Amino acid sequence: MSVWDQVVGQEAAIAPLQAAVAQPAAMTHAWIITGPPGSGRSHAARAFAAALQCLEGGCGTCRACTTAISGAHADVTVLATEKVTISIDEVRDLISTAQSSPSEGRWRVIIVEDADRMTERTSNVLLKSIEEPPPRTVWVLCAPSGEDIAVTIRSRSRKVSLRMPDPEVVARLLIERDGVEPELARQCAYAAQSHIGVARRLARDPAARARRDQVLALATDIRGVGDAVLAAADLVAVAEEDAKAATEERDVEERNALLRTLGADDGGRLPPALRSQVKQLEDDQKRRATRHKRDVMDRAIVDLMSLYRDVAAVHVGAAQPLINESHRGHIEALAARTELADTMRCLDALSTTRDRLASNVAPLLALEAMALALRPRVAA
């Protein structure tokens, strides 16, 4: 399987990247890969890096390919942040790496995931390096859209725009690459609305599917104020648990690694001079947990929106397959006892909730308001 085979449903979009690999003389030193979350931006960036290092243009099996994809290649640097912003120091480090020629590969490739998280000042520092790149250095910036990148950088880069792949294409990837059973693969690809990472998690983890079903059940389970308040509290609790499971182990490892680096891993008291470094790490970890929690809640809302979109599709008699085909019974029942206007009102409420969570409203408050809005309207 070539490295490009895993960048599914993007044949037209990635053609310029493949052409650059084939024609190194015409290389562009800065690329921007855009696309909605889940479209595979960082995957495409890594595939490009692998294809540049591989002697066969991305065979997918040689050492250059596998290490470039996994992020272990000496000449491929990936900055993947889980913080809200990329710091100017992180970018300065990248720039100094960018100045050195490749140690073993053919190119030095620097990938910045979430390049939209750079402040203007940081972008300006990066711009200088992009304007006068060393001959064998290639920058690859990933962002949701071109508008998320400073215009000065944009004008010096080539843009590759990914789109959401068709769910059938995602299903095929799950079947062929991950060995998922076809029926389940389709169900998960549609449920994830083509988000490849989410689709794979759903396919592999029955608990994730069960959690999603639980979220969808809210649409029919919330009858009164009491149900709504409980449902909101449940959602927050699930998100907290999920965040804890995802970050706890790593937090401890990182802390131990830092203590080892500082030479303070003998269990004794930390000298005051080192405390601020540990505190800094703990703050970063806290921010990461918060972000994870918010992502889980956002995903739950996106799932609920997909259910109401299905209800709306039944209302208007649309012919396309439902996103949640396996919930068709519930969806038709909900459509039968509501009107399109009710469904649109619920979709509005969900979209408002997403905005509120993104602007840091206390999650429980935002979700309570959402759950209350999802109650069936009582005839006056």
Q: Can you give the binding site for Zn ion, defined by CB under 5 A?
A: 54, 59, 62, 65
Nearer to Zn ion, 55 or 80 (CB): 55
Contact criterion met (CB below 8 Å) for 50 and 69: yes
Question: Based on CB atoms, which residue is closest to Zn ion, 65 or 126?
Answer: 65
| Structure tokens that stand for 73 in this block | 């290649």
What are the CA-CA distances from residue 170 to residues 160, 185, 256 (Å)? Answer: 20, 8, 39
For Zn ion, the closer CB: 62 or 238: 62
User: What gap in Å lies between CA 197 and CA 185, rounded to an integer?
Assistant: 13
We find the least distance from the C-beta atom of residue 64 to Zn ion, in angstroms, to be: 5
What the block records as the tokens of 219 is 């649409």
Nearest residue to Zn ion, by Cβ distance, number only: 54
Tell me the closest approach of the beta carbon of residue 158 to Zn ion, in angstroms. Answer: 23
Distance in Å, CB of 44 to Zn ion, minimum: 16
- Number of neighbours of residue 279 by Cβ within 10 angstroms: 11
Dist CA 136 CA 239 (whole Å)? 44
Minimum gap (Å) between residue 146 Cβ and Zn ion: 30
Please say which residue, 13 or 47, places its beta carbon nearer to Zn ion.
47
CB of 66 to Zn ion, least distance (A): 8
Ordered DSSP codes for 121-174: HHHHHHHHHHHS--TTEEEEEEESSGGGS-HHHHTTSEEEE--PPPHHHHHHHH
Angle between helices 363-373 and 340-358 in degrees, nearest 10: 180
